[in-house]
Structure 1
Amino acid sequence: MRIRSTGRRPALTALAAAAVLATASCGASGERPAAAAATLSIAVQGAPNSFDPALLVDGTQAYVWSAVYDTLLMVDNKGELRPNAAESWNYSDDGKALTLKLRQGMTFSGGAPVTSAAVKTTLERTMSKPGPNRFRLSAVETVETPDERTVVLRLKEPDGALPHSLATTIGVIGDPKTLEAERTALDPVGSGPYVLDGATVNGSKYVLKKRDDYWNAKAYPFETVEVRVIKDRTATVNALQSGTLNAASVEVTHVDRLEAAGFDTKFIDAEAVGTLSLADRNGEVLEPLGDERVRKAINMAFDRDKIVQQLLRGAGKPTRQLFNPKGDAYDPALEKEYPYDPAAAKRLMAEAGYADGFAVHMPSLFFTKPFEPTITQSLGEIGIKVTWDPTPPQNSVSAIASEKYGMFVMVEGFNSTPVEVKDYLAPDGPKNVFDSSDPELDELLDRVNAERDPAKAAGLYRRINAFTVENAWSAPIFYSGRHWVTDDGVEFLGDGSNTFPTVRAFGVSG
């Protein structure tokens, strides 16, 4: 039986991934200074909201906080879960106790030792404090510390996503003596490989200096990391041309010019998924979505190939699936579902009793605007009239979570498969806005949460994915790709298997 959270639904992290599509682009012309390989300089479009461990969010903000804080576990550039601050982890036979063994000799940047008590304090604080991360610890009942290096998480029920979650926001370790201090929001005492330098200007520029006493210092080749908040694309172009930045993601239209100017480029064909979420699957506020035939008709309304070519300029690929194509849940055979066929879609609409279509309101969000005309036209062809409600950027998350809108557009950066499944499909999951459930899906979720064999778990994740596609729980439209450009001395190491923003995705070349 699944334990349902009784607390407030956590804020959606979906909109942080809008920055994935909006990450600054660059061009190149004229002379540019030689790169300094000792420094990595990248840009993000939004400043970290807070360095308080209970308030951390995914998205490009993680370039900063994941350098300041260690996480208990990590996902490497190939998408594999690895030890980190915890040198090992294992489940009990019943899957209701997760034991982690910490490394010896770790210290916080202030000099205090990193102990199991620090892990316990950080986790319990996140569990009790309202914030975007509490949901990922919903299965944890108690945190025990048998000795200074051992942490045992006692669970209400098995949670297959928990180890992967401990490689993200909930896995950070804060200094218990400073967690409640005012400085933590802006200048925390962390356990990670870098510390914030005095040259940092909050909201504008974050300068990270490498800790020589960090336990794994050799894994971080850059002595300095500069993360600049640059919202304007032209300003980012100028920063790259001047040498202020030496790594950035770019639009496809700039790639030829950059390569001609001597920059190295690397294309990742899927870093985010663009989806028309059909969230109200019981038809609570939008009755037609309660009929599977309507949801299937919506899936058949989109010419995905045309959308990728025209709106993404080919920098991506069409999809019918929510999950990372390099992850365990992805199944290439599912891409044969829902061919573009407005005539067949209209027949399904008529069978469901909506031959004349219906009207729907959706929030117009800062990242949906480029797609709105195409979505309006596509849905209009099968009789669905869309009205876009203007929504201020600061209200984007609350609009989606409000349960006012039965369907809405999301652009989501990928996470690891277990975390994606938990976020999208678990009751009270932050992206399962109407708490949709189904007996078949519930059984699959229970089985995968209890499964300890990775190969068997992967098979269950594919079955879960097939359920969502075959029952049209959403209408995924495209995978958005990304061109990474790096200057001399810097190399982008990722291949799309892990899209979590971290400086570990960059290395020194040459």
Structure 2
Amino acid sequence: MKLPRSLAAVVAVSALLFAGCAGGGDGGGGDGGSGSTGGDGASSNAVTVLSIAQHAGPPSLDPEQALAGEQHFVFQTTYDSLILLTPDGQFEPMLATSWEFSDDLKTLSMELRDDVSFTDGAKFDAEAVKANILHYRDGTGATAGNLRLVQDVVVTGEYSVDIVLSDVEPYLLMYLANGSGFMGSPEKLGTEEIKTNPVGTGPYIYDATASSVGENLWFTKNPDYWNPDLQHFEKVNLQIIGDQTARVNALVSGQIDAVNVDLSSADQVEGAGMIYVGTENAGYGLHLTDRNGTKSAAIADVRVRQALNYAFDREKIAASLFNGRAAMNTQLYAPGVDGYLEELEELYPYDPAKGKELVSEAGFEGAEVGVTWLTYTDPAVKAVIQEAFTSIGLVPVVNELVASDAFGLIRPDMPTVLWSAGNRPDPWNGAMSAAPTQPFNTFKIEDPEANRIIADMRANFLDEEKLKAGAEELNRFVMEQAWIVPIYAQPYGYYHSPRLEVDAQYAASIPFLYNFRPAS
């Protein structure tokens, strides 16, 4: 089943690339690099060990903590999802063999594989699916909100379930093909054990003895895996390397096979023969989260929020960042997407004088405003933001979080946060980014007008024209109220060794683990 283009996207927090860690080497796994000889007696040139670096490891190996981006490597090794999202954007069977929505789109009936067991011996069946779905819905992970509309999971047979919703959820299949669909052993869910020793049905088994949590994770091929076509390596090694320079050096030296690097290093890695995995541009900017003034009275004033939008010379910024690989980012939706409005390109032209006038008019000249970003944020981006605040009479109070504390970006005490903002890839993705339940609405602010628009979009999400009209209305509202400050857009800098073949992943910034294989 092909995902309609208008509904394809990276799920809000799933779009987060929580990156970063320290330490590398070949660890205790004993297989030093991608050319190591595996147990099948392959030649020394055969790639039997896949070594991937990422900025940071997840806070837990419990599947309810699964995120997209770099984090999904950790989970796709040991856990299978109910549905497989292929590189070209098709939904295909995985642990679920078939599925069908009811006429009112509020019940999803699924048939399940009857020949799969978890690596601890527990049986995969309908009861296991129910336990996992409710574990996600009732959990505290960053993706818990994805399944908030799940009212019940009804076991209709040993290998069949109905997922009953309280309202239509346009992204349900996407969620079940991503982090909210990973199935863990029902005997381990909710235990302390699964946080450090994951137990799933996946293609690889976590090797706790060889691993060093927070530094180096090792996974070995599951000999009893039900789908060997997805097993391309004998072992998978995930190295946590927080430093940008260290990641680049590890890639070009052959210590690792693939990694996401800052695009400012693109010329270096391409010059070393590394291969780029293309992605669509992702928007970045400021989430003006404290719109009720809980921590910053200034951000509660729409004039100050609008002033910040006037403070950025987006054309100049796009030309100067990442060796000219960035693009302008001006509104909630990306150009070419239903919901994009050409008129909004000129809503906030670069005019710091006007911005300063608005700040003064609102009575906040000289006000301190907190702005939070991760330490690995490009220094040029940090400088641009601080200069913009200063140019309109605000005093930026910077709060830097280390990569391992990336979840701190969604704590309810950050007035403004730099992360993925604007340039959304489809109408419903934009709606989710503006919804009260979205992670960057950290103060959980409700807005009746936004809620009305989003409710209308939900009710009409299969009507392309009505969905487009709703997206345009939402775009105009969000930008006029200045909930975000779109600044720039960029492709992700994901590169791999020529010893691999890697397919870009539809609706994702980082390829899925299944997309990596030895080069022919």
Shift of 1:74: 3.8
Distance 1:73 1:321, change over 3 A: farther
Q: Which of 433, 436, 449 is equivalent to 1:424?
A: 433
CA distance in 2 between counterparts of 1:39 and 1:457 reads 49
Paired residue type of 1:209: T
Shift of 1:365: 4.5
Matches within 5 A, 1:229-240: 229-240=240-251
* Kept after mapping to 2: 8 A contact 1:44/1:230: yes
CA distance in 2 between counterparts of 1:21 and 1:339 reads 39
Residue 172 (structure 1) aligns with = 182
Distance 1:202 1:438, change over 3 A: closer
CA distance in 2 between counterparts of 1:203 and 1:385 reads 36
3-state SS of the aligned residue for 1:275?
strand
| Structure 1 residues 15-42: Cα deviation after superposition (integer angstroms, max 9, x where no partner) | 95353999x9xxxxxxx97863333221
Distance 1:18 1:145, change over 3 A: closer
Paired residue type of 1:249: N
3-state SS of the aligned residue for 2:250?
helix
In the alignment, is residue 434 of structure 1 matched against residue 430 of structure 2?
A: no
Identity over aligned pairs, percent? 31
* Kept after mapping to 2: 8 A contact 1:301/1:379: yes
Shift of 1:392: 6.7
Q: Which of 42, 48, 55 is equivalent to 2:65?
A: 55
* Kept after mapping to 1: 8 A contact 2:21/2:57: no
* Kept after mapping to 2: 8 A contact 1:59/1:500: yes
Residue 153 (structure 2) aligns with = 143
* Kept after mapping to 2: 8 A contact 1:139/1:156: yes
Paired residue type of 1:273: G
Residue 349 (structure 2) aligns with = 339
| Structure 1 residues 199-237: Cα deviation after superposition (integer angstroms, max 9, x where no partner) | 433333223333354343324433432211222344434
Matches within 5 A, 1:474-489: 474-489=484-499
| Structure 1 residues 346-376: Cα deviation after superposition (integer angstroms, max 9, x where no partner) | 45556x5448564423346424572333212
Shift of 1:479: 1.8
Matches within 5 A, 1:114-133: 114-133=124-143
Matches within 5 A, 1:491-502: 491-494=501-504, 497-499=507-509, 502=512
Q: Which of 221, 227, 238 is equivalent to 1:210?
A: 221
CA distance in 1 between counterparts of 2:446 and 2:80 reads 35
* Kept after mapping to 2: 8 A contact 1:317/1:479: yes
Figure out how many residues of one structure are paired with residues of the other and give that number: 489
Please, what TM-score do these two structures have when normalized by structure 1?
Answer: 0.81
Q: Which runs of 5+ in 1 are unaligned?
A: 1-11, 25-31
Q: Which of 306, 318, 330 is equivalent to 1:296?
A: 306
Q: Which of 409, 412, 420 is equivalent to 2:418?
A: 409
Residue 71 (structure 1) aligns with = 81
Matches within 5 A, 1:195-274: 195-197=205-207, 199-211=210-222, 213-268=224-279, 270=281, 272-274=282-284
* Kept after mapping to 1: 8 A contact 2:450/2:474: yes
Distance 1:375 1:233, change over 3 A: closer
In the alignment, is residue 37 of structure 1 matched against residue 47 of structure 2?
A: yes
Distance 1:233 1:442, change over 3 A: closer
* Kept after mapping to 2: 8 A contact 1:71/1:85: yes
Distance 1:508 1:21, change over 3 A: same
3-state SS of the aligned residue for 1:402?
coil
* Kept after mapping to 1: 8 A contact 2:375/2:400: no
* Kept after mapping to 2: 8 A contact 1:14/1:410: no
CA distance in 1 between counterparts of 2:48 and 2:71 reads 22
CA distance in 2 between counterparts of 1:356 and 1:380 reads 10
3-state SS of the aligned residue for 1:60?
helix
3-state SS of the aligned residue for 1:345?
helix
Shift of 1:58: 3.9
Distance 1:145 1:179, change over 3 A: same
* Kept after mapping to 1: 8 A contact 2:217/2:238: yes
3-state SS of the aligned residue for 1:200?
coil
Paired residue type of 1:155: L
CA distance in 1 between counterparts of 2:98 and 2:161 reads 11
CA distance in 1 between counterparts of 2:384 and 2:374 reads 15
CA distance in 2 between counterparts of 1:130 and 1:356 reads 39
Please, what TM-score do these two structures have when normalized by structure 2?
Answer: 0.80
CA distance in 2 between counterparts of 1:305 and 1:42 reads 35
CA distance in 1 between counterparts of 2:114 and 2:418 reads 46
CA distance in 2 between counterparts of 1:21 and 1:337 reads 40
3-state SS of the aligned residue for 1:494?
coil
Distance 1:84 1:496, change over 3 A: closer
CA distance in 2 between counterparts of 1:16 and 1:118 reads 28
Residue 6 (structure 2) aligns with = none
* Kept after mapping to 1: 8 A contact 2:247/2:261: no
Residue 360 (structure 1) aligns with = 369
Q: Which of 457, 460, 464 is equivalent to 1:448?
A: 457
Matches within 5 A, 1:96-107: 96-107=106-117
* Kept after mapping to 1: 8 A contact 2:98/2:111: yes
3-state SS of the aligned residue for 2:442?
coil
RMSD of Structure 2 on Structure 1 (CA): 3.8
* Kept after mapping to 1: 8 A contact 2:130/2:153: yes
CA distance in 2 between counterparts of 1:66 and 1:490 reads 18
Higher-RCO chain (CA-CA 8 Å, sequence separation at least 6): 1
Shift of 1:491: 2.3
Residue 6 (structure 1) aligns with = none
CA distance in 2 between counterparts of 1:205 and 1:165 reads 28
* Kept after mapping to 2: 8 A contact 1:35/1:488: no
CA distance in 2 between counterparts of 1:383 and 1:219 reads 55
